[in-house]
Homo-oligomer: A and B are copies of this chain.
Amino acid sequence: MRVGLLTGGGDVPGLNAAIRAVVKRGEGEHGHTIVGFRHGWRGLADGDVMPLTRSHIRNVLPTGGTLLGTARYHPHADDGGLDAVRATLEEERIEALICIGGDGTLHAASKVAESGVRIVAVPKTIDNDVWGTDRSIGFDTAVNIATEAVDRIHTTAESHNRVMIVEVMGRHAGWIATTAGIAGGAELVLAPEEPFDIDRVVRFLQHRHRAHASFSIIVVAEGAVPLEGSSMQYETQLGPFGEIVAGAISERLGAEIADRTGFDTRVTILGHVQRGGTPTPADRILGSRLGVAAIDAVSAGESGVMTALRGDDVVLVPLTDIAGKVKQVPAEMLEVARALA
């Protein structure tokens, strides 16, 4: 069987572990030929293929990024993308497709599955907001990087009596902000799940600095927004690809806080470092397990499903079940972040 493989959307650590798993298991157990598409859906539409054999995946387990390359393009019916995808699959005699990606890729996979292509998806996103799986590939590494940054900023905040704001990723859900906030002992976590009241933020800081402390750390998700009707005006700023502009909310928040409290306030925007570098063991294991499960699933004739982690187990979830849903941070974790500030 010839099985196609692509990685779509932003790169995250752990993708190469998943690619390696598909190839090793596909060749070794099932005797398949794995065909890679370069630069995600763009390569699938354009017929940009590369062979994927054991020699291509040597030593990639501990590496970040994706050896297939990726792009933010997704195929649509009305721009001829879906037709181009089907044409390539036919030309390359691909009988099944495995696509590793986030929201956009899962949505595209759903559409492609509807057109009769056998397809299995693997969830990756450092935002960890894919519905139906406890974890997506890349999240654990991002949390480690963000926590390390909060740890580092802690010492300098304390030495200089500052309010330090750390902006992390998380557009629709505050997974990185909440976990790095808890792990790093932040005083305040601002997540998209709960629009914040700037007046309460300011009162909290003033109370804290008056009472006993001389510094504070605020971890803010890029997708955090002020409470509607509150005294801070803010419009989410979007970039050319519809992504949130890095630094927009944190710079604005820093200016508000400095202005209203007079405290020395500094902003750090983690940005791209969150999504690169050596994957943590957890991301290598997750990539490996979900990759093996994906190739096993297509070999067993499954289609239109996503491999997912549920507790200690790997399961298959119908793509139609997760469409349009965002997995947000549970209230219990938000409460833990608040309780331990």
Contacts and interface: CB of A to CB of B under 8 A. Distances in A.
Interface string A146-180: 01110111111011110010000000000000011
B281 A25 contact: no
Contact of A339 (B292, B311, B336): B292
Contact of A266 (B71, B272, B310): B272
Contacts of A69: 158-161
A331 to B, nearest CB: 11
Q: Which of A71, A145, A184, A340 has the most CB of B within 10 A?
A: A340
Interface residues of A, number: 76
Contacts of A90: none
Interface in A247-277: 266, 268-269, 271-273, 275-277
A299 interface: no
A6 interface: no
How many copies of this chain does one complex carry?
4
Interface-centre pick from A11, A278, A280, A285 (highest chain B CB count, 10 A): A285
Given A25-B339, A152-B277, A339-B25, A282 B65 contact: no
A219 interface: no
Contacts of A161: 69
8 residue pairs, one from A and one from B, having the closest CB atoms: A65-B155, A152-B276, A64-B155, A152-B277, A183-B281, A11-B159, A147-B281, A65-B159
29 contacts: A10-B160, A11-B155, A21-B336, A25-B340, A64-B152, A64-B154, A64-B156, A65-B155, A65-B158, A65-B159, A66-B159, A69-B160, A70-B159, A140-B282, A144-B280, A145-B152, A148-B277, A149-B273, A151-B276, A151-B277, A152-B273, A152-B275, A152-B277, A153-B272, A179-B281, A269-B269, A280-B280, A288-B340, A289-B333
Interface of A: 10-11, 13, 20-21, 24-25, 28-29, 59, 61-66, 69-71, 134, 140, 143-145, 147-149, 151-156, 158-161, 164, 179-180, 182-185, 266, 268-269, 271-273, 275-278, 280-282, 284-285, 288-289, 292-293, 310-314, 327, 330, 332-333, 335-336, 339-340
